[in-house]
Every structure is written in structure tokens, then in C-alpha cells.
Amino acid sequence: MGKGTWFILIYQKPFNKEIKNNEIQKGGVIVKILVTGGAGFIGSHVVELLLQDEHETIIVDNFSTGKKDVVPSQAKLVEMDINSPKMEKVFALEKPDVVIHLAAQVDVGTSIQNPVYDADQNILGTIRLLNYCKKYKVKKIIFSSSCAVYGETEDSSISESYPLKPLSFYGLSKYTSEMYIQLFKDLHEVPFTILRYANIYGPRQSSEGEGSVISIFFRKILVGEAPVIYGNGEQTRDFVYVKDIALATLMAINKGTNEIFNIGGNTKTSINELLANIASIASVQITPISMPAREGDIQHSRLNSTKAETFLGWQPSYDLLTGLSDTFNYYEAIMQSK
Ligand SMILES: NC(=O)c1ccc[n+]([C@@H]2O[C@H](COP(=O)([O-])OP(=O)(O)OC[C@H]3O[C@@H](n4cnc5c(N)ncnc54)[C@H](O)[C@@H]3O)[C@@H](O)[C@H]2O)c1
């Protein structure tokens, strides 16, 4: 019996899970899952779903951008850098079934200013984890890649086979990690699922990092400051609500093995349109500050996720206005509590 077959046998129950309104119903087989970067924006939502589904969840985070107050008490927390040699002890002790690898240097600008640091965190960090996955026979690594691997694309929806030509070292570090992951599978039989996330937004997003424009706009507006638009504002993005992303990540635990998926909404919203929507939700008039376009910024990004729909059974359930309203309520509540 091949490794993949065995994995499916021990983890077959969640195949039959009923998914309603983005909530996986309880009753799945309990699997031990190690989440790197579990105290971050996306990680905290992934961990919430894992616990809801009663998985044994271990978070490894160095809190470089993550926050302790988002870590639920039911999750085991290991405060550690993924590059620490002590990580091996975590694998030896916990023997996770699945690793969801979200920890990363996530800022495109930082990657351009400091490519060595970016590569150290994102490429070498991933290779170190892959070595432990091999040694401790992890049954799958789920990797958070990015639409940044494509670089500049046509102004249309692109599928996974689109040529990869990153415009930033961040995109290159994700691309390189993808290549290592695929070769680890070929040479050392470490199964994987690679998820290329679109631009994500939602509660708990910081103002730094990839795709943080919505968080920056809300924070500015709520303190009465004008947001900045880089370039002419006609650049377009495919925004996906974080709860949809967390669900796609969970669905990859037992489906889509050794495959790469775009996880996007197949939508295109310009930054000007986005700001108009945000102004309307927040009931304010906004005159943005114009700044020149930034190095490494992509003009258009829109992901076709048909493959994820077919293999994972995933599609986004939040439209932009619903997700933006939820996000606005979150930031407003935080401001009011201060
Ligand atoms: N936010 C987006 O729009 C987006 C889009 C595509 C891909 N991604 C990817 O998704 C993943 C999560 O991104 P996010 O937006 O939640 O960012 P985030 O900064 O909120 O989360 C990253 C987490 O990893 C932790 N971390 C970073 N380096 C670490 C290290 N060396 N050791 C241990 N922990 C470390 C941070 O403390 C943080 O908790 C990243 O890999 C990112 O590249 C994000």
C-alpha cells in the first residue's frame, strides 16, 4: 500500500463532512496538526477552524508579527523561530500528522530591501521544515504560497499553468519554496498541497505584509486620516475574505495531495473601486493622497480557482461587500474599545 493510500485511510472521515456557511461540522477524525505562523492573521483563522473541528493543534510562532492574544487556550503554543535547531525537538516530541506552513516574512518591500533575510526566512525556513517532515514522516505539508509567484499577468483570470515570473524577492521566495516542496515529494516522498492565495483581507490583519491595503484603508479612515493610493489606483486585485482562505486550507488536509491550487475569488477590483466601497460602508467622504507606484507592485492579479473547486470542493462564500462590512465592524469595535 502506497503512502498516499494509507494517509487517505486514516483520514477518510472528513471527506463526508457537511459544509455550511463556511463552517465545517464537527465529527472528523482527530489529527495532530502543526501550524507554523498560527498566531498570525491567516494562521489565527486556520487555528480557529481546526479547533472547531476538534483537531489537536500545535502552533509554532516567533511572534515577529503574530499576537499572543489571538492564540486560543485549547491550542498548544510553542514560542519558537522555525529556523531554530530546537524545531527538531518539536517534531520528535509531537510527531504531527500534517504541517500547515504559514510562517513567513510577508512584506514585499522588505524582500526588495533585504533579499537575504527574506530568503533565509522563506526559503531556508521551508527547507528546514521539509527536512523534519521527511525525518518524522509527516503525511502532508500544506504550503501558503501566493499570487506573487505569477508576477505581472494579463488583465484576465489566470490558472495554475500560467508562467511564473515573480516581480519581487518575496514572490521568488514563494516560487523557490514551491520547487523545493515538489522535489522533496519526488526525492523523499513528502506529500504536499500548495495553495497560491490571492489578496486576503479580514479581521486581525495588520497594516504590514502582503495584501494589507484594506486593513490600512480602514485604520486610516477610522482615525480621520486620508489613505494613500500608489500609482493611478487602476491596478486590480482579487480580494478574498480570510475565513474563506482558512476553509480552503482546512479542506486541503485530506484532499488535493501533491497538487497546486489557486485560492482566489476570480474577481477584479481596482484600488479606486475598493476605496469607494470602503467609503460607502464607513459613510465617509475620502480624498486619497496620490503617491508614485511602488517597486515590485503588480498591476493586475486575478486567480481562476476552478481547479480548487473541482479537487477540494472549495469556492469562496463571502462577496466583497459582505466581507468588507464584517471587517469594518471589527475595526470599529477595536477603535471603540480603546
Ligand atoms: N495576507 C495575504 O494576503 C497573503 C497572500 C498570499 C500568501 N500569504 C501567505 O500566507 C502566510 C500567512 O500570512 P499572514 O498574512 O497571516 O501574515 P502574518 O504576518 O500575519 O503571519 C505570519 C506569522 O508567522 C510568524 N512568523 C514569521 N516568521 C516566523 C519564523 N521564522 N518562525 C516562526 N514564526 C514566524 C509571525 O509571527 C506571524 O504570526 C504567509 O506565508 C504569507 O506569505 C498571505
Query: From ligand 1's centre to the CA of 284, what distance in Å?
Result: 31
Distance CA 294, CA 112 (A): 11
Distance CA 166, CA 279 (A): 32
pLDDT of residue 227: 92
Distance CA 1, CA 18 (A): 29
Q: Say which range, 166-175, 201-210, 223-232, has the weakest mean pLDDT.
A: 201-210
pLDDT bracket for residue 82 (50, 70, 90): very high
What's the pLDDT tens digit per position in 215-225? 999 989 988 99
Q: φ, ψ for residue 309 (rounded to 5)?
A: -65, -45
Residue 24 confidence (pLDDT) above 60: no
Which has more pLDDT, 82 or 11?
A: 82
Query: From ligand 1's centre to the CA of 111, what distance in Å?
Result: 13
Q: Say which range, 16-30, 31-45, 144-158, has the weakest mean pLDDT.
A: 16-30
Q: Which atom of ligand 1 is nearest to the CA of 147?
A: 6
> What integer is the mean pLDDT of 229-237?
93
Residue 30 confidence (pLDDT) above 70: no
Residue 246 confidence (pLDDT) above 60: yes
Residue 82: CB within 6 Å of ligand 1? Answer: yes
CB crowding 139-168: b at 16 or more within 10 Å, else e? bbbbbbbbbbbbbebeeebbebebebebbb
Dihedral over alpha carbons 122, 128, 129, 133 (to 10 degrees): 150
> What integer is the mean pLDDT of 255-273?
96
> What integer is the mean pLDDT of 115-130?
98
pLDDT bracket for residue 1 (50, 70, 90): very low
Q: Is the dihedral of CA 187, 192, 195, 201 positive or negative?
A: negative
Instruction: Please name the residue whose Cα sits nearest to atom 18 of ligand 1.
Output: 40
> What integer is the mean pLDDT of 258-272?
96
Distance CA 231, CA 215 (A): 19
pLDDT of residue 295: 78
Strand order in the sheet with 98-101: 76-79, 56-61, 32-36, 98-101, 140-146, 192-197, 259-263
Residue 199 confidence (pLDDT) above 50: yes
Residue 43: CB within 6 Å of ligand 1? Answer: yes
Q: Tell me which of 150, 170, 241, 331 is the catalytic residue.
A: 170
Residue 64: CB within 6 Å of ligand 1? Answer: yes
What's the DSSP call for residue 30? P
Residue 48: CB within 6 Å of ligand 1? Answer: no
Would you call 170 a catalytic residue per the annotation? yes
Query: From ligand 1's centre to the CA of 6, what distance in Å?
Result: 31
> What integer is the mean pLDDT of 188-210?
91
Residue 210: CB within 6 Å of ligand 1? Answer: yes
**Neighbouring residues of 336: CB distance < 8 A, sequence distance ≥ 6:** none
Q: Which atom of ligand 1 is nearest to the CA of 40?
A: 39
Q: Which of 253, 306, 308, 309 is nearest to 15 (CA)?
A: 253
> What integer is the mean pLDDT of 47-52?
97
Residue 83: CB within 6 Å of ligand 1? Answer: yes
pLDDT of residue 208: 67
Which has more pLDDT, 276 or 27?
A: 276
What proportion of the chain, given as a percentage, has pLDDT over 90? 80
pLDDT bracket for residue 23 (50, 70, 90): very low
Superfamily of domain 27-201+242-265+303-317 in the CATH hierarchy: NAD(P)-binding Rossmann-like Domain (3.40.50.720)
Distance CA 261, CA 263 (A): 6
Q: Which atom of ligand 1 is nearest to the CA of 170?
A: 43
Instruction: Please name the residue whose Cα sits nearest to atom 43 of ligand 1.
Output: 106
Distance CA 44, CA 197 (A): 16
